[in-house]
Amino acid sequence: MSAVEYLNARPLVHGLDAGPDLFDCRFDVPSKCASLLHDKSVDLGLIPSIEYLRHADYRIVPDIAITSTGPVASVALFTDRPAMALRSIAVDSSSRTAVALLRVLCAKWFDIEPTFVTLRPDLPTMLKRCDAALLIGDAALYQEHELNGLDKVDLGEEWTAMTGLPFVWAYWVGLEGVVSPEHIEALRAARDSGLDCLDAIAEKWAPSDDNGESLNIARTYLHENVAYTLDEQALAGLKKFFGAAAELQVVPSERAVRFFE
């Protein structure tokens, strides 16, 4: 299995070592997690939500996801001008879902048609090329944008402002038949164990600094910005996103959300 290497995924895998020996886990950026699953190099991947639409036989592990309602803090545009004035945006090459969401927000919320340029996630280089830069994960979470005179446009916050719904960033996905009830219960138990240990996870994975600011950011993020249950509201947000992405031809088409039983 392949899991996202960012802080937001750590609660989902924190308890796997304590459970039955069912998984061999590696860590990658979101786009790599998706590619490994599509290539059948792994049986199960914690993949960007939009990537579920790539295969008709994919199924989602029920009840577990990385979601946000309002600000997510780890997916954002960095810019020195209003979003409505952006003509070009550099997008993080590690991202799939965030780029799709940005395209939806540009068309339906910001009312702009910018040029998108895919670059490595290096903020100074991105802003030399474009009016704004999209960063995801820890690079966005710990970015000291105010010191550089930049605004941070939180895409999770903008999505909830537009729709009133949560946004689903990632979930466990695999081909039909590869996950048993035992696997599902182990993943749920790992998630629940992680939720009981958020402060310990923050302390382990936050970057070290002299004043502890990164640790405070990590704690706040895990307690307040992200959630880990795919409930009915989150599912409604996911379906809304799929519909908007299909309408704008960001994806070829939407399809039913199906779960492992």
Judged against a pLDDT cut of 90, whether residue 50 lies above it is answered with yes
Residue 179 lies in a domain: yes
At 20, the pLDDT band (50, 70, 90 cuts) reads low
pLDDT at 261: 84
Q: How far apart are CA 103 and CA 174, in angstroms?
A: 26
Average pLDDT over residues 212-239: 97
At 208, the pLDDT band (50, 70, 90 cuts) reads confident
pLDDT at 209: 81
Q: Are residues 126 and 88 in the same domain?
A: yes
Contact partners, residue 93, CB within 8 Å, separation at least 6? 31, 118, 119, 120, 121
Domain end position, chosen among 111, 144, 163: 163
Residue 260 lies in a domain: no
- Greatest alpha-carbon span in the chain: 53
Task: Output the domain CATH number for residue 27.
Answer: 3.40.190.10
Judged against a pLDDT cut of 70, whether residue 176 lies above it is answered with yes
Q: Are residues 19 and 146 in the same domain?
A: no
Which residues pair with residue 118 across a beta bridge?
91
At 107, the pLDDT band (50, 70, 90 cuts) reads very high
Residue 254 lies in a domain: no
Residue 171 lies in a domain: yes
Domain end position, chosen among 163, 183, 205: 163
Number of domains in the chain: 2
pLDDT at 9: 95
Residue 255 lies in a domain: no
The DSSP 8-state label assigned to residue 151 in this structure reads: E
Q: Are residues 184 and 154 in the same domain?
A: no
Domain end position, chosen among 163, 192, 212: 163
pLDDT tens-digit series, residues 1-12: 999 899 999 999
pLDDT tens-digit series, residues 139-170: 999 999 988 899 999 999 999 999 999 999 99
Residue 80 lies in a domain: yes
Quote the strand ranges of the chain, DSSP E: 2-4, 26-28, 44-48, 58-60, 64-68, 75-79, 88-92, 115-119, 132-136, 151-154, 167-175, 227-229
Question: What range defines the domain where residue 93 resides?
Answer: 75-163
Q: Are residues 136 and 171 in the same domain?
A: no
Q: Are residues 99 and 152 in the same domain?
A: yes
Tally DSSP H helices, then E strands, for the chain. 10, 12
Of all residues in the chain, the percent with pLDDT exceeding 90 is 84
Residue 256 lies in a domain: no
pLDDT at 16: 81
Q: How far apart are CA 67 and CA 69, in angstroms?
A: 7
Q: Are residues 159 and 171 in the same domain?
A: no
For residue 117, which phi and psi values (nearest 5 degrees)? -125, 120
Of all residues in the chain, the percent with pLDDT exceeding 70 is 98
Judged against a pLDDT cut of 70, whether residue 211 lies above it is answered with yes
Q: Are residues 172 and 243 in the same domain?
A: yes
pLDDT at 22: 84
Q: Are residues 145 and 87 in the same domain?
A: yes
Judged against a pLDDT cut of 90, whether residue 21 lies above it is answered with no
For the chain, give the mean pLDDT.
94
Residue 151 lies in a domain: yes
Average pLDDT over residues 217-224: 98
Q: Are residues 95 and 155 in the same domain?
A: yes
Average pLDDT over residues 189-204: 95
Q: How far apart are CA 44 and CA 61, in angstroms?
A: 9
- Can you read off the two tokens belonging to residue 247? 């309408």
Q: Are residues 132 and 58 in the same domain?
A: no
Cα-to-chain-centroid distance, residue 215: 20
Q: Are residues 176 and 204 in the same domain?
A: yes
Q: How far apart are CA 207 and CA 9, in angstroms?
A: 16
Question: How far, CA to CA in Å, does 135 sit from each of 4, 81, 138, 139, 208?
Answer: 15, 16, 9, 6, 21
Q: Are residues 172 and 63 in the same domain?
A: yes
At 61, the pLDDT band (50, 70, 90 cuts) reads very high
